[in-house]
Amino acid sequence: MKKLVAILSIFATQYNFARHIIIDAEQPQLIKVYAEDTESLNLVKNIMSACGLYCQETTTCSKGDNCLYILAGSDIKLDQQSLPDNYIVYYTKPFKTVHPELLQNALVIWDVSWENIARYKNAFSHYYYLPNENYTYLDPVILSCYLPLDLLSTYKKLLQYSNSVNTDISSHVPTLFCHAYFLKPSIMVEAGVRGHEGSNVALQAVTQPYNSYLIGIDINDDSRVYNNIPHATFLQMDDRKFPAHFKTMKVNKSTIDFIFIDTSHEYQHTVDEIRLFTPMLSEHGALGFHDSNIAPLYNRTAYARLNGTILRGNWEDAVRGVAPAIKQELNIDFDEAQYVNRTFTKDSYVWRFIHYPFCNGLTIVKRIQKI
């Protein structure tokens, strides 16, 4: 336990974690921790503290509470009548018995053990692996704690999707949803639609709470994906022509809050996109890039997802221009195979740079404040 606390302390010091990752996102609700034992309680409290979240210990659970509970332990014995309305199950140790009613009603399941997960994942796919060491991937797990309670059911569905579909972007769907949601977007752009595969699933979910306007762009006709999205438009064009076209569109503002890029992955194309799209961003807007770490495993023959699956194949001929273009245009160096979270300055703004290395890579570049 002392080792774990030390790890978390170092983690919090090095990254100053959630207070910077989720700019302008206040903790929307009280988090109560119901733990079976002192070790589990301390584990949750230290994770919350490292991430800038505040929690309150409790020995009872109540329905009707306008708060989020974390139920922590290895064999949580709460009958269905005692379960709170909104809760996360955190299995801090290997367990003996699966409790279906406990997992069914949980908004998210955090688990330290792949052996645990293997026993329920076919029935309950809304899980995240969260080990007691190596907190590289704590960021996507903890983002849900910043969502308001009424959006956690949406988040649960996206997590179920991400653990079940298994594409090269599936692990990023809940993360992408959170980052886009925290921007409070009026207008979003999806450059590179590629069918109903992931990014539009996340962005479509963001349009509902904010009634955001979503613009999809692709050189292929993927308009069918947008047919059932209210307040959305599909444009079949090279996305580099979009800035000029946007000036002719009748929209309620002249800037864009989030532009997600998943197009050719060619170096010059990505350079052009960064140069053209950055001036279009709103004061606290962001760019998102997929495929910023294509197939990093086993000599470029596989990539890993957060659900523990690995897809093998031959990506030797894959186009890998995204990361080099980001490095050049933003003047920021980073290791594509490592989680990165830091700030930099460019064009009279302070920016937050977040890079997720799994599932072919996701990079978020977000304006924080004007200098």
Whether residue 20 is predicted with pLDDT greater than 70 in this model: the reply is: no
Side-chain-side CA neighbours of residue 5 (13 Å): 7
What is the distance between the alpha carbons of residues 146 and 38, in angstroms, rounded to a whole number? 25
In angstroms, how far is CA 360 from the centroid of its own chain? 14
- Rounded-to-integer distance, Cα 322 and Cα 294, Å: 9
> What sign does the dihedral 279-285-286-287 (CA atoms) show?
negative
**CA atoms of 102 and 78, how far apart (whole Å):** 8
Mean pLDDT, range 256-268, rounded to an integer: 97
- Which one-letter DSSP state was computed for residue 246? H
184-201 mean pLDDT: 90
Q: Are 343 and 20 in contact (CB under 8 A)?
A: yes
In the predicted model, is pLDDT for residue 114 greater than 70? yes
Query: Which two tokens mark 222?
Result: 């993927």
Residue 298: per-residue pLDDT: 86
- How does residue 86 score in pLDDT terms, banded at 50, 70 and 90? very high
Q: Give the percent of the chain with pLDDT over 70.
A: 92
- Residue 107 is predicted with a pLDDT of 97
End-to-end CA distance of the chain: give it in Å, rounded: 42
Strands 108-111 and 87-91: parallel
Residue type for position 41: L
CA-closest candidate to residue 51, choices 70, 75, 65, 66: 70
Mean pLDDT of the chain: 89
Asked if residues 280 and 367 have their Cβ atoms less than 8 Å apart, the reply is no
**pLDDT of 75 higher than 70:** yes
Question: What is d(CA 302, CA 326) in angstroms, rounded to the nearest whole number?
Answer: 23
User: Model pTM?
Assistant: 0.92
Which residues partner with 354 through β-bridges?
Answer: 341, 364
Calpha distance 336→151 (Å, rounded): 31
Domains delineated in the chain: 2-146 (3.40.50), 161-370 (3.40.50.150)
**Model confidence at 313: pLDDT above 90:** no
In the chain, what percentage of residues exceed pLDDT 90? 73
Whether 50 has a pLDDT exceeding 90, the answer reads: no
**pLDDT classification of 7: cutoffs 50, 70, 90:** very low
Strand-pairing partners, residue 189, are 215, 259
Lowest mean pLDDT across 29-33, 62-66, 149-153, 271-275:
62-66
Mean pLDDT of 41-53: 87
